Structure 1
Amino acid sequence: MSFSVSLRDVTLKYRDSEALSNVNLELEAGKIHGLLGRNGAGKTTLLSLLAAFRKPTAGTVLVNGGPIWENAEIVSRVALIREGGDFDDSDTVKSSIETGEIRPSFDRDYALKLADKFELPLNKKVRSLSRGKRSVLAAICGLAARAELAMFDEVHLGMDAPTRDAFYKELLADYMDREHTIVLSTHLIDEVANYLEEVVILDRGSVLRHEPVEAFQRMGATLTGPADAVDAVAVGLEVLAEQRLGGTKSATVTVLDAPTRERAAASGIEIGPVGLQDLFIHLTSPERDGA
């Protein structure tokens, strides 16, 4: 089973400031969703509402069709894993893992198997772990929770590149093995882009874009070819970036319509995709004023 998510006219205020403002969002069950945004955009706040850590100032937050706030049955099947986890520093790694058994679906054997795979010392105190190993512990507990809605908020921080890659692959294997909904909040966009099915971009407390990942991939293109030909095709287009090496030029542009694609191809220009991270940087640029 997997949980859907629905936010309807949701606002959350901290004193006089709004962390989220009139957010409307529907996340389909059984998919991997990417949650992207610059620092302070409201990502962690949104996830805290979905985990019932906070109550919205206004609006409705529904998980699996019902209100999440003070709904113990639903909350027990939702997991929000934050960077570094929520552990008692005086506990050992093993006892921290065993604490997860308060969740009805927690898989202790799976957690211990992952601890061995990621070379996590069971008898070591949590306070003595490196930042990367503590992040691994949090990720392990998140995976072993076997939640219907699993949310990972920058849980990769501190992990080295091979460990992050192993985590992503384990996350995908678990996703393929059982039906559930995943939300990944991260700044390492290019690393997770191939795992995502839908992407939500938050900007200044509001939903800027929510599209299938394929829609973002169609938003722009990279034109590579003779410099003069690239310049001619790029006239009137919004150019995100340019690179030149000798007589060859590469220009990253947005919104490349069919006639322009045909003209580019006829000019001997190679057309390639734009990375999700490049589009994210462009869409959330302060100069665009949230457009």
Structure 2
Amino acid sequence: MSLSVTLRDVALKYGSEAALTGIDLDLEAGKIYGLLGRNGAGKTSLLSLVAAFRKPTSGQVLVGGESVWENAPVVSRVALIREGGDFDDTETVKATIESGSIRPSFDAEYAYKLADRFEVPLKKRVSALSRGKRSVLAAVCGLAARADLTMFDEVHLGMDAPTRDAFYKELLAEYMDRPHTVVLSTHLIDEVANYLEEVVIVDRGRILRHADVESFQGMGATLTGPAAAVDALGLDALAEQRLGGTKSITVADALDAETRSRAAAAGIEIGPVGLQDLFIHLTAPHPSPHPHPEPERAAPSQLRKDRNGA
């Protein structure tokens, strides 16, 4: 059974510093979500609240319609897999997999199968694994948890490209075999875009955008043409480039029929904006008012077509 997620006016503070503010979010059960945000935007903090690793400073965090904090029956159905895994480094890989059996739904046989497929040596201690193999072990344990809500927080870091591709395909196969709710927190947006059904963008501790992938794909546009003609459209640009008399701008909103007609008449070319480019433009750091730059505050669904047999 899949689990839904609901956050209402949620805030989280670390001491006097706000990590999350005014978070309202609804994730329906049984979908694969992408959680996007720059470093430090609040992604890990948000996932920690949903997994009951932390208690919100204020607001409600509900999983499956119930408060998740100190709710063991619900928490047992949730898995949050963080980068590198939360392992005892002194244990062997085999012992680590065996310890996963404390989860009621953990499938050790499946975990061993995945460990063999991804060539994770069972006899090695976790401390002796490379960063990539440790990431793979974390992914293996997350998949084998067979949780009703599974969240992967940058678990791909350290994996090489072929391994990441194999992980995404295995995640999709497991999801198709056993529909549940999945959240992928990642920076590698182009790699996972085709696996996602909805995308949530977190920026500076707030929800910036939440929409299905199709909406994001139609959300923005690039317009390239004579600079004066582009300026005459009067559009609010997220970013712009100019070369001689030619100007290119990126806008975040869909263009209406009148704007498209005016652009075409003026010889302006209109192109799409990829999800990753749109994310970059939407979350670009604001210029600092200080004379010296401050550290960056970091910060298709083809899946639905496949599932419906289209």
TM-score of the superposition, structure 2-length normalised?
Answer: 0.85
Counterparts of residues 144-223 of structure 1 (less than 5 Å): 144-223=144-223
Aligned residue number for residue 280 of structure 1: 279
Distance 1:241 1:190 in 2: 22
Contact 1:240–1:254 at 8 Å: present in 2 too? no
The one-letter code of the counterpart of 1:232 is A
User: Is the partner of 1:114 in helix, strand or coil?
Assistant: helix
Q: Show the counterpart of 1:98.
A: 98
Moved over 6 A (4+): 246-250
SS where residue 164 of structure 1 aligns?
Answer: helix
Q: Is the CA contact (8 Å cut-off) linking 1:37 and 1:43 kept in structure 2?
A: yes
Structure-2 residue corresponding to 1:120: 120
The residue type equivalent to 1:260 in the other structure is T
The answer for the alignment partner of 2:229 in structure 1 is 232
1:3 and 1:30 in contact (8 A); partners too: yes
Inter-partner Cα distance in structure 2 for 1:54 and 1:170: 30
Q: Deviations over 1:245-275 (max 9, x none)?
A: x999865443322223234456676543211
Question: Where in structure 1 are there 5+ consecutive unaligned residues?
Answer: none
Aligned to 2:9: 9
Count matched residues.
Answer: 285
Aligned 1:84-95 pairs, distance under 5 A? 84-95=84-95
Q: Distance in 2 between matches of 1:234 and 1:79?
A: 50
Deviation, 1:158, is: 0.4
Which has the larger displacement, 37-46 or 131-140?
A: 37-46
| Distance across 2 between alignment mates of 1:249 and 1:159 | 39
Q: In structure 2, what is the equivalent of residue 257 of structure 1?
A: 256
Cα 1:239–1:87 shift into 2, 3 Å: closer
CA contact under 8 A between 2:238 and 2:282: conserved in structure 1?
Answer: no
The corresponding residue for 2:75 is 75
Cross-structure match for 2:28: 28
Amino acid at match of 1:49: L
Q: Work out the CA distance in 2 between the residues paired with 1:239 and 1:102.
A: 49
Change (3 A) 1:22 1:124: same
TM-score, normalization by structure 1:
0.90
More deviation, 248-257/49-58: 248-257
Please provide the CA RMSD for this pair. 2.3
Aligned to 2:130: 130
Kept in 1, the 8 Å contact 2:238–2:281? The answer is: no
Contact 2:149 2:181 in 1 (8 A): yes
Please say if 1:51 is aligned against 2:51. Answer: yes
Is the contact between residue 241 and residue 247 of structure 2 (CA under 8 Å) also seen in structure 1?
yes
Deviation at 1:287, TM superposition (A): 2.6
AA aligned to 1:283 is L
How many percent of aligned residue pairs carry the same amino acid?
74
**Alpha-carbon distance between aligned partners in 2 of 1:100 and 1:74, rounded to the nearest angstrom:** 17
Specify the SS of the correspondent of 2:286. helix
**Shift in Å, 1:280:** 1.1
Judge conservation of contact 2:230–2:247 (CA < 8 Å) in 1. Answer: no
Q: Which moved more, 1:50-59 or 1:248-257?
A: 248-257
Structure 2 counterpart of 1:78, one-letter code: V
On the 8 A contact 1:234/1:253 being kept in 2, the answer is: no
Q: How far does the alpha carbon of each residue in 1:151-178 deviate from its partner, in whole angstroms, 9 at most, with x for none?
A: 0000000001111111111111111111
CA distance 1:284–1:138, change in 2 (3 Å): same
Structure 1 residue 123, shift from structure 2 partner: 1.0
Q: Could you say what secondary structure the match of 2:200 adopts?
A: strand
